Structure 1
Amino acid sequence: MTLSITQAFQKNEVSPKDLISNLESHFDSHEPDVLAFIPEENRFERLLKEAEELLKKYPDVNNRPPLFGMTLGVKDIFHVDGFTTQAGSKLPTQDIQGKQATSVTKLKNAGALVMGKTVTTEFAYFTPGPTRNPHNPNHTPGGSSSGSAAAIGANLCDITLGTQTIGSVIRPAAFCGAVGFKPTYERISREGVIPLSPTFDHIGIFANDIMTAKQIASALLENWRLENWDRKPILGIPNGKYLQNTSEAGLKHFEEVCKLLSTNYQIIRVQVMDDFDEIKSRHDAIMSYDASQVHKEWFDKHEALYSQKFSDLVKRGRTVTNYQSQIEARDEFRNQITNAMDENQIDVWICPPAVGPAPKGLESTGDPVMCLPWTQIGFPAMNIPTTKNDEGLPMGLQLVGKWNADESLLAWAEEIEKVVRKI
């Protein structure tokens, strides 16, 4: 809904007032049930003013920036001029402010209008905020980018920004029926974003379809290259302990999608990650150590204001003594996966984006385990919504590309989307 009215605004078919009035009506109807955004007084008065200023700056319909008029939700660990960063935390806000995120500046310069801040779990870890799944309010939207995923799932805005340190883009995208894209590590600047684990933190994007995700990626990714492949990718399934983490329902759906894809693509099953328990423990060791360093001063000053989950993370990180060897093991793991892809001529891994559909209840954001290894090695990944289960909850497919092959992944994903997407 939002993208169609935005396109009309881009073509001068509707006025700024019509655009914002339409957005406000939809927002007022759906946001109270979803709670994707941080409350803001006079949100739509501000947006109307900014839309009018944008139109005045770019009056020529043929000479407008690529994201002209697109509405943008920003996860509340990104600093944005004119907004207070709260980061889902009880810490004094004056202690955690900073300069506007580079990613936000790029999108604003490309013509995007900031709809507002979206709800995050506490400092992008596991303590959830109030956001609900737009497809069933009794189920989690996932996290930590809860509001960003739910905002797209509820069509509250055109595009959103999130982050992923374990599974905080791909998993909530799957739960909320959104396209989620996590690029290769550091291809989108992390400047101006409160870190959780600088070793693993990725900036990610949410959109309603891959075409829009590509448009946003081209504005954000460093050294973006336009690529169109005339060959189909060879798809790989990562057999073994990793895939065994999927629930019965999740695995059944994945096999159905694989069967659908097998009529159009070559699919190879490869045994990888036999040491998956070590991969998981390594991730926690590195992440907890990083978090303990990032939060050292804040935690020493405000320990009582942190949740139990985050306090445990920081304290666990302070006990890590083998950080450097864990980093070296991560690098070796990246080499192993690269070699497995090269030896089997795999272009893209396919796997479930989450253990299963969004779990019932709001006290947990679900298990990020199906995203963990790809985040650890920094490979580009995305979720494509596929269908809904019998309860009306979205299901998805995760695609993982090679290091720095983001453009190829997005190009191939656009074709794969045509095969697997039923919603």
Structure 2
Amino acid sequence: MDIDELCSRIDTVDADLHAFVAEPGRRDRLLREMGEHPLPIGVKDVIHVAGLPTAAGSNLPPDVLTGDEAPVVTRLKEHGALVVGKTVTAEFAFQAPGETRNPHNRNHTPGGSSSGSAAAVAAGLVPAALGTQTVGSVIRPAAFCGIVGFKPTYGRISTEGVIANAPSFDTVGVLAASVGWVERVAAIACAGWTPAAAEGRPVLAVPIGAYLDQTEPEARVAFFEQVNALRDKGFEVREVPALDDIEVVAARNRTINLYELARVHERWFDSFASLYEARTATGVREGRKIATDEYEAALRDRERYAEELVAGMDAFDVWVAPSAPGPAPDSLATTGNATMNLPWTQARLPVVGLPAGKLDGLPLGLQFVARPHHDEQLVAWAAELSRSL
């Protein structure tokens, strides 16, 4: 790797893309830290990296947010990773966008909250980056930027050293240029990773009903074209009525997310409320109003929901669904709609998002969802699924 060439490319491409957090002295640091065969990665700016400040996309003083390096970063460094830089995030990985733009059209959102990680990979600045997903913050920006996203089973990657959004949901994930890069990073980052062979083809299921009806009409047509392409390649695809209670799922998610967001920010909010973006501040204040018994009831309902969703997978191997309701919105004031990611994250299932064509010149994605702890098998299947799209 030529560090001078990499930094020059970042200086040029990122001048209007804004995927990386600005870092004075980046070139000198990378020259000092570069190993013999470095694995260049970006790291979302809610994940602590030794020697680099963590601002979490906020205006809070970095020394208030400081913490020890995340074990996932340390582990990657021990296996040759070179942290090229912190990547821009929505404020505290919530809803207020950072300054990152979509590499395919600078007027469109790159998605969020792992916006910088997705854009950096899509622009070819790094082959892989770490992100986090609380609802759809890995899979959706991967789709909007036309790259691969991987959200492992909840807990497979430690969230120690990560500034939380909602600890019950937060999952460290990987955004990458290919399935091969996902597997390379996941094999280091995920606890107990045991590579799996893609033995046989998975039986796929399309969730028919109110959930799928949330997609934009043209995007839904494009989705079924991709489903038919998989059928033509020999995959068995079934249409399964599912998730007609998506509004209930969304309401439960809001209760849990806002309650936990408020508790995470107890240590900072009263002192620095004026520095928060309006959407984040509103979320914290709303979360403070949620009663503990309401939150605990939502957690119990979530467990029942997840058990029922997984039990319904006995007749097939993998759900397939659009990664987002449509392509990236024509706005930088939003990170997009996470509703298509919501059911799977709430159930803590592993998900791989794959690029799947374009609509009006903007990328679309498909997400493939497996049973808990079938991460290795899902990633193995993803390689063949990617070739078939």
Q: TM-score, normalised by structure 2?
A: 0.97
1:283 corresponding residue in structure 2: 253
What is the CA deviation profile of residues 138-185 of structure 1, one whole-angstrom value per residue up to 9, with x for unaligned ones?
100000001000000100112100000011000000001111100000
**Which amino acid in 2 is paired with 1:398?**
Q
Aligned to 1:383: 353
User: Residue by residue, what CA displacement relative to the aligned partner does 1:27-51 show, whole Å, maximum 9, x if unpaired?
Assistant: 2331112110011112122212222
- Indicate conservation of the 8 Å contact 2:149/2:176, yes or no: yes
Q: 1:373 aligns with which of 324, 337, 343?
A: 343
Partner SS state of residue 212, structure 1: helix
List, as ranges, runs of 4+ consecutive aligned residues in structure 1 with deviation greater than 3 Å.
none
* Partner residue in 1 for 2:309: 337
Amino acid at match of 1:348: V
CA–CA distance in 2 between the matches of 1:153 and 1:332? 38
Q: Is the 8 A contact 1:33 1:134 kept in 2?
A: no
Count of residues in Structure 1 that have an aligned counterpart in Structure 2: 386
State the partner residue of 2:370: 401
User: 1:202 and 2:171 equivalent?
Assistant: yes
Query: 1:325 corresponds to which residue?
Result: 297
Q: Identify the residue that residue 97 of structure 1 maps to in structure 2.
A: 66
Q: What does residue 292 of structure 1 align with?
A: 262
Gaps of 5+ in 2: none
Tell me what 1:59 maps to.
none
Question: C-alpha distance in 1, partners of 2:139/2:372?
Answer: 17
Distance 1:33 1:305 in 2: 25
| CA displacement at 1:393 relative to structure 2 | 1.1
The superposition leaves residues 47-81 of structure 1 with CA deviations (integer Å, 9 ceiling, x where unpaired) of 12222xx23xxxxxxxxxxxx41111110001101
Distance apart, 1:229 and its partner CA:
2.9
Structure 1, unaligned runs of 5 or more: 1-5, 7-18, 56-67
Deviation at 1:315, TM superposition (A): 1.5
Contact 2:219 2:359 in 1 (8 A): no
Report the Cα offset of residue 272 of structure 1.
1.3
Q: C-alpha separation between the residues in 1 aligned to 2:108 and 2:329? A: 6
Q: What amino acid is aligned across from residue 312 of structure 1 in structure 2?
A: T
Correspondence for 1:36: 19
User: What is the rounded CA distance, in whole Å, between the counterparts of 1:48 and 1:319 in structure 2?
Assistant: 49
> C-alpha distance in 2, partners of 1:21/1:254?
42
Measured in 1, the distance between the counterparts of 2:63 and 2:16 equals: 30
Deviations 1:339-360 (A, max 9, x none): 1101x2x111000001100000
Post-superposition offset of 1:21: 2.6
**For the pair shown, which has the larger CA radius of gyration, 1 or 2?**
1
Question: In 1, Cα distance between the equivalents of 2:102 and 2:211?
Answer: 26
What is the one-letter code of the residue matched to 2:301?
A
The answer for the alignment partner of 2:319 in structure 1 is 349
1:389 CA drift (Å): 2.3
Does the 8 A contact of 1:145 with 1:163 survive in 2?
A: yes
Residue 62 (structure 1) aligns with? none
**2:195 maps to amino acid:** L
CA deviations 1:192-244 (Å, max 9, x no partner) are 00001000000011110001101111101111112103211000111111111
Residue 95 of structure 1 aligns to a residue in which SS? helix
State percent identity of aligned pairs: 44
Q: Deviations over 1:3-22 (max 9, x none)?
A: xxx5xxxxxxxxxxxx1133
- 1:14-413 to structure 2, matched below 5 A, reads 19-51=2-34, 54-55=35-36, 68-263=37-232, 264-321=234-291, 322-342=294-314, 344=315, 346-390=316-360, 392-413=361-382
- Partners of 2:79 and 2:92 lie apart in 1 by 28
Alpha-carbon distance in structure 1 between the residues aligned to 2:79 and 2:60: 33
Structure 1 residue 129: Cα displacement: 1.1
Deviations 1:268-307 (A, max 9, x none): 1111112111100000000000011111121122111111
Which stretch of structure 1 is more off in the superposition, 21-30 or 355-364? 21-30
